[in-house]
Amino acid sequence: MFIDTAAEFDVRDYLRKEMMPHFLCPGCGHGIALRALLWAIHDLGIDKDKLAVVSGIGCAGRLSAYIDANTFHVTHGRPLAYATGLALARPDLHVVVITGDGDCLAIGGNHLIHACRRNLKLTCLMLNNEVYGMTGGQVSPTTSETRLTTTTPLGNQEPHFDACALATAAGAGFVGREVTHHVPKLKELIKAGLKHPGFAFVEVLSDCTEIFGRKNDLGSSPEMVMRQKSNIRPSAYADTVDTPFRPNTLPTGVLSKNNRPEYGASYRRATAEHAGAPR
């Protein structure tokens, strides 16, 4: 159930003031997602000293620099692989990955499916804005069909990924999706992901207003945020394909969960059983 802790949460407690002003475009949804993440971290009382945030390259990748924690801005597509090493070596840390749709699903797609399969405790926040914003607006693996980008001047002809379906199929312990329009719900979803003992994948539908929005004539940023509502349906209806009242919408909320063993704990258990017994 949603608990309103907004009054006691001050996002500035979790941001690096020396990094302000931030570099996000006006209307960008990534700041909302970042705030939701920090709010979730606040609600759970996670110690900033024990929080490690690993991010890749792209607009989403830049977010780690704003967080007052142990932050690692790594190579394009590889934050999950870096985070895997960090989390295995330091199980005492709380490791969060921030990535984008291009970073996570294109160049980093292999790492995503194997992170889901391995089920190491990590929380992966994928900010999906349907476009490579940092490089000027090229088509991404999540760009909807027919959308215009600088590299699809005739409209995108490639089908797009359903990242949550992919993560679920690959075995992720926790999979969820939310939009930046619903901030408290997004915060609660991220919290559930952070609490999950295994690999948690959270897709955030975030708007790129300045590049993708303009290119596709999607209106002002408030209009784009409001439009999110009509593109989704809550997860209560997740298994209802094309519900009569909201056909062709994306399910949101917790979409799948399993309790497969967490990899780090399994490895350490096996190690302890064989300690001092050379084979």
Q: Which residues bind another protein (CB under 8 A)?
A: 16, 18-19, 48-50, 52, 54, 64-65, 68-75, 78, 81-90, 92-93, 110-111, 113-114, 267, 270-271, 274-279
Contact 185, 3 (CB under 8 A): no
How many Å apart are CA 211 and CA 146, to the nearest integer? 16
**Tokens 């990924």 appear where?**
161
| Residue 173 CB coordination number (10 Å) | 25
- Cβ proximity to another protein, 29 vs 79, nearer residue: 79
Which segments of the chain are extended strands (E)?
A: 51-55, 70-73, 94-100, 122-128, 131-132, 138-139, 174-179, 199-205, 232-234, 250-257
Q: CA distances (Å), 169 to each of 75, 106, 113, 257, in order?
A: 26, 17, 9, 11
